[in-house]
Amino acid sequence: MSTPAADVAHAVDAGTPVTDATVGVGPWPGGRASWPGDPHLDPELLERGDHRNVEDRYRYWSMEAIRKDLGRRSRGFEVAVENLNHDFNIGSIVRTANALGATRVHIVGKRRWNRRGAMVTDRYLEVDHLPDAAALQEEARARGLCVVGIDNVPGSEPLEEAVMPEKAVMVFGEESGGLSPDMLQVCDRVLHITQYGSTRSMNVGHAAAIAMWAWVTRGR
Protein backbone atom coordinates (compact mmCIF):
# COMPACT_ATOMS: atom_id res chain seq x y z
CA MET A 1 0.00 0.00 0.00
CA SER A 2 1.35 3.42 -0.90
CA THR A 3 2.00 6.09 1.73
CA PRO A 4 1.54 9.89 1.43
CA ALA A 5 5.33 10.31 1.27
CA ALA A 6 5.59 7.72 -1.49
CA ASP A 7 2.76 9.38 -3.38
CA VAL A 8 4.54 12.73 -3.20
CA ALA A 9 7.82 11.21 -4.41
CA HIS A 10 5.99 9.55 -7.30
CA ALA A 11 4.37 12.86 -8.23
CA VAL A 12 7.76 14.58 -8.33
CA ASP A 13 9.21 11.86 -10.54
CA ALA A 14 6.23 12.06 -12.85
CA GLY A 15 6.44 15.84 -13.14
CA THR A 16 2.93 16.45 -11.76
CA PRO A 17 2.01 19.06 -9.15
CA VAL A 18 2.79 17.91 -5.62
CA THR A 19 -0.21 17.91 -3.29
CA ASP A 20 -0.75 16.68 0.25
CA ALA A 21 -4.30 16.41 1.59
CA THR A 22 -3.03 16.97 5.14
CA VAL A 23 -2.00 20.59 4.41
CA GLY A 24 -3.60 23.53 2.66
CA VAL A 25 -7.29 24.29 2.25
CA GLY A 26 -10.37 22.67 0.77
CA PRO A 27 -12.75 24.13 -1.81
CA TRP A 28 -13.72 27.78 -1.35
CA PRO A 29 -16.58 27.89 1.20
CA GLY A 30 -20.00 28.62 -0.22
CA GLY A 31 -19.46 27.32 -3.74
CA ARG A 32 -19.07 29.20 -7.01
CA ALA A 33 -21.54 31.92 -6.08
CA SER A 34 -19.20 33.13 -3.32
CA TRP A 35 -15.92 33.06 -5.29
CA PRO A 36 -13.98 36.33 -4.98
CA GLY A 37 -13.19 38.32 -8.12
CA ASP A 38 -9.44 38.43 -7.46
CA PRO A 39 -7.61 37.82 -10.79
CA HIS A 40 -4.78 36.06 -8.95
CA LEU A 41 -7.01 33.13 -8.13
CA ASP A 42 -7.30 29.88 -10.08
CA PRO A 43 -10.91 28.70 -10.61
CA GLU A 44 -9.87 25.04 -10.52
CA LEU A 45 -8.19 25.48 -7.14
CA LEU A 46 -11.19 27.39 -5.79
CA GLU A 47 -13.39 24.49 -6.77
CA ARG A 48 -11.20 21.57 -5.74
CA GLY A 49 -9.07 23.01 -2.93
CA ASP A 50 -5.39 23.89 -2.73
CA HIS A 51 -3.00 21.42 -1.10
CA ARG A 52 0.18 22.50 -2.88
CA ASN A 53 3.57 23.14 -1.28
CA VAL A 54 3.08 26.93 -1.15
CA GLU A 55 2.84 29.49 1.63
CA ASP A 56 -0.65 30.29 2.90
CA ARG A 57 -0.68 33.74 1.28
CA TYR A 58 -0.61 31.99 -2.10
CA ARG A 59 -3.55 29.66 -1.44
CA TYR A 60 -5.81 29.44 -4.50
CA TRP A 61 -3.41 31.57 -6.57
CA SER A 62 -2.60 30.40 -10.09
CA MET A 63 0.95 29.29 -10.80
CA GLU A 64 1.50 32.24 -13.16
CA ALA A 65 0.29 34.72 -10.54
CA ILE A 66 2.70 33.26 -7.98
CA ARG A 67 5.59 33.43 -10.47
CA LYS A 68 4.89 37.11 -11.16
CA ASP A 69 4.67 37.96 -7.48
CA LEU A 70 7.91 36.13 -6.69
CA GLY A 71 9.60 38.05 -9.50
CA ARG A 72 8.38 41.32 -8.01
CA ARG A 73 9.53 40.35 -4.51
CA SER A 74 12.85 38.70 -5.44
CA ARG A 75 15.95 39.64 -3.48
CA GLY A 76 18.06 40.50 -6.54
CA PHE A 77 20.59 37.65 -6.44
CA GLU A 78 20.83 34.69 -8.79
CA VAL A 79 22.18 31.18 -8.35
CA ALA A 80 24.14 28.92 -10.68
CA VAL A 81 24.81 25.22 -10.15
CA GLU A 82 27.28 23.11 -12.08
CA ASN A 83 25.70 19.93 -13.40
CA LEU A 84 28.52 17.82 -14.75
CA ASN A 85 27.41 14.42 -13.45
CA HIS A 86 23.71 14.83 -12.61
CA ASP A 87 24.37 15.89 -9.00
CA PHE A 88 21.44 14.88 -6.77
CA ASN A 89 21.77 18.09 -4.71
CA ILE A 90 20.56 20.41 -7.48
CA GLY A 91 16.88 19.99 -6.61
CA SER A 92 17.54 20.94 -3.00
CA ILE A 93 19.46 24.04 -4.09
CA VAL A 94 16.61 25.09 -6.40
CA ARG A 95 14.13 24.68 -3.54
CA THR A 96 16.28 26.86 -1.26
CA ALA A 97 16.69 29.47 -4.01
CA ASN A 98 12.90 29.67 -4.24
CA ALA A 99 12.53 29.95 -0.46
CA LEU A 100 15.11 32.73 -0.12
CA GLY A 101 13.96 34.86 -3.03
CA ALA A 102 16.48 34.23 -5.80
CA THR A 103 15.61 35.85 -9.11
CA ARG A 104 16.57 32.79 -11.14
CA VAL A 105 18.68 29.64 -11.19
CA HIS A 106 21.11 28.67 -13.95
CA ILE A 107 21.88 24.98 -14.51
CA VAL A 108 25.38 24.92 -16.01
CA GLY A 109 26.52 21.84 -17.93
CA LYS A 110 24.17 18.93 -18.57
CA ARG A 111 20.62 20.03 -19.33
CA ARG A 112 18.83 17.22 -17.47
CA TRP A 113 18.88 17.39 -13.67
CA ASN A 114 17.26 15.50 -10.81
CA ARG A 115 14.13 17.46 -9.87
CA ARG A 116 13.08 15.27 -6.95
CA GLY A 117 14.54 17.53 -4.26
CA ALA A 118 13.02 20.66 -5.80
CA MET A 119 9.52 19.51 -4.79
CA VAL A 120 8.05 21.36 -7.81
CA THR A 121 9.41 24.75 -6.62
CA ASP A 122 11.17 25.07 -10.00
CA ARG A 123 7.73 25.73 -11.54
CA TYR A 124 7.46 29.00 -9.62
CA LEU A 125 11.03 30.16 -10.31
CA GLU A 126 12.86 30.92 -13.54
CA VAL A 127 15.30 28.06 -14.15
CA ASP A 128 17.39 28.14 -17.33
CA HIS A 129 20.26 26.18 -18.85
CA LEU A 130 23.73 27.33 -19.83
CA PRO A 131 26.20 24.99 -21.55
CA ASP A 132 29.39 25.93 -19.70
CA ALA A 133 31.22 28.36 -17.43
CA ALA A 134 32.05 30.73 -20.29
CA ALA A 135 28.34 31.07 -21.09
CA LEU A 136 27.60 31.91 -17.46
CA GLN A 137 30.32 34.56 -17.47
CA GLU A 138 28.88 36.11 -20.64
CA GLU A 139 25.37 36.10 -19.19
CA ALA A 140 26.56 37.70 -15.94
CA ARG A 141 28.57 40.43 -17.67
CA ALA A 142 25.66 41.31 -19.95
CA ARG A 143 23.50 42.07 -16.91
CA GLY A 144 26.14 43.52 -14.59
CA LEU A 145 26.30 40.59 -12.17
CA CYS A 146 29.35 39.70 -10.11
CA VAL A 147 30.15 35.96 -10.37
CA VAL A 148 30.75 34.75 -6.81
CA GLY A 149 31.94 31.18 -6.36
CA ILE A 150 31.26 29.38 -3.08
CA ASP A 151 34.00 26.86 -2.35
CA ASN A 152 36.72 26.29 0.26
CA VAL A 153 39.66 26.51 -2.14
CA PRO A 154 43.03 28.19 -1.48
CA GLY A 155 42.74 31.96 -1.74
CA SER A 156 39.00 32.11 -1.06
CA GLU A 157 37.61 34.70 1.38
CA PRO A 158 35.57 33.87 4.50
CA LEU A 159 31.89 34.37 3.71
CA GLU A 160 31.16 35.80 7.15
CA GLU A 161 33.70 38.63 6.65
CA ALA A 162 32.95 39.46 3.02
CA VAL A 163 31.10 42.52 1.79
CA MET A 164 28.57 40.96 -0.52
CA PRO A 165 28.07 42.65 -3.91
CA GLU A 166 24.68 44.23 -4.57
CA LYS A 167 24.11 42.24 -7.77
CA ALA A 168 25.56 38.75 -7.83
CA VAL A 169 25.18 35.25 -9.14
CA MET A 170 26.38 32.75 -6.54
CA VAL A 171 27.88 29.64 -8.08
CA PHE A 172 27.97 26.20 -6.50
CA GLY A 173 29.89 23.18 -7.70
CA GLU A 174 29.15 19.49 -7.43
CA GLU A 175 29.12 17.46 -4.26
CA SER A 176 32.21 15.42 -5.08
CA GLY A 177 34.63 18.03 -6.39
CA GLY A 178 33.30 21.53 -5.75
CA LEU A 179 33.70 24.17 -8.44
CA SER A 180 35.39 22.97 -11.63
CA PRO A 181 38.67 24.61 -12.78
CA ASP A 182 36.79 26.25 -15.67
CA MET A 183 34.24 27.76 -13.31
CA LEU A 184 36.89 28.99 -10.88
CA GLN A 185 38.51 30.81 -13.81
CA VAL A 186 35.40 32.89 -14.50
CA CYS A 187 34.59 33.74 -10.87
CA ASP A 188 35.18 37.37 -9.89
CA ARG A 189 35.46 36.29 -6.26
CA VAL A 190 35.42 33.02 -4.37
CA LEU A 191 34.07 32.80 -0.82
CA HIS A 192 34.10 29.94 1.67
CA ILE A 193 32.12 29.06 4.78
CA THR A 194 34.45 28.80 7.77
CA GLN A 195 34.29 25.34 9.35
CA TYR A 196 35.29 24.22 12.84
CA GLY A 197 35.21 20.42 12.66
CA SER A 198 37.30 17.70 11.04
CA THR A 199 35.49 17.22 7.73
CA ARG A 200 37.05 18.75 4.63
CA SER A 201 33.74 20.03 3.32
CA MET A 202 30.00 20.08 3.98
CA ASN A 203 27.17 18.95 1.75
CA VAL A 204 26.81 21.38 -1.17
CA GLY A 205 23.06 21.69 -0.61
CA HIS A 206 23.69 22.80 2.98
CA ALA A 207 26.49 25.15 1.91
CA ALA A 208 24.20 26.73 -0.68
CA ALA A 209 21.50 27.32 1.93
CA ILE A 210 23.97 28.99 4.30
CA ALA A 211 25.40 31.20 1.54
CA MET A 212 22.00 32.32 0.25
CA TRP A 213 20.75 33.04 3.77
CA ALA A 214 23.90 35.08 4.48
CA TRP A 215 23.34 37.14 1.34
CA VAL A 216 19.69 38.00 2.04
CA THR A 217 20.34 38.90 5.70
CA ARG A 218 23.10 41.41 4.98
CA GLY A 219 20.80 44.41 5.30
CA ARG A 220 18.69 43.59 2.22
pLDDT of 182 reads 97
80 lies in the same domain as 172: yes
Quote the domain boundaries for residue 146: 74-216
- State CA 115 to chain mean position distance: 11
43 lies in the same domain as 104: no
49 lies in the same domain as 145: no
Instruction: Give how far Cα 108 sits from Cα of 51, 97, 117, 133, 156, Å.
Output: 32, 15, 18, 7, 21
86 lies in the same domain as 67: no
pLDDT of 103 reads 93
91 lies in the same domain as 171: yes
pLDDT of 218 reads 78
Among residues 71, 88, 111, the one where a domain terminates is 71
Could you give the CA distance from residue 179 to residue 48 in angstroms, rounded to a whole number? 45
pLDDT of 86 reads 75
User: pLDDT tens digits for the chain (220 residues)?
Assistant: 333 433 333 343 334 445 566 789 999 999 999 999 999 999 999 999 999 989 999 999 999 999 999 888 877 899 999 998 877 899 999 999 999 999 999 999 999 998 989 999 999 999 999 999 999 999 999 999 999 999 999 999 999 999 888 899 999 998 888 999 999 999 999 999 999 999 988 999 999 999 999 999 875 4
Give how many domains the chain has, as a whole number.
Answer: 2
Q: What DSSP designation does 202 have?
A: -
pLDDT of 1 reads 38
Could you give the CA distance from residue 220 to residue 212 in angstroms, rounded to a whole number? 12
149 lies in the same domain as 47: no
184 lies in the same domain as 204: yes
pLDDT of 14 reads 39
pLDDT of 20 reads 62
